[in-house]
Amino acid sequence: TVPGASFTIVKVYPRYRFPSRYPDRSLASF
């Protein structure tokens, strides 16, 4: 799998996939 794919998934599924524990800032780490 390509790392970039995971990053795209994060953009498609923001807080919906990750609870409040992982805000947008945490997603940026991915």
Considering the entire predicted model, what is its pTM?
A: 0.16
Total domains present in the chain: 1
- What CA–CA distances, in Å, run from 9 to 25, 30? 15, 10
How much is the pLDDT for 30? 44
Contacts of residue 9, Cβ cutoff 8 Å, sequence gap at least 6: 17
The predicted-structure confidence for 2-11, as pLDDT tens digits, reads as follows: 555 555 555 5
**The domain containing residue 20 runs over which residues?**
1-30
pLDDT tens-digit readout, 12-28: 555 555 555 555 554 55
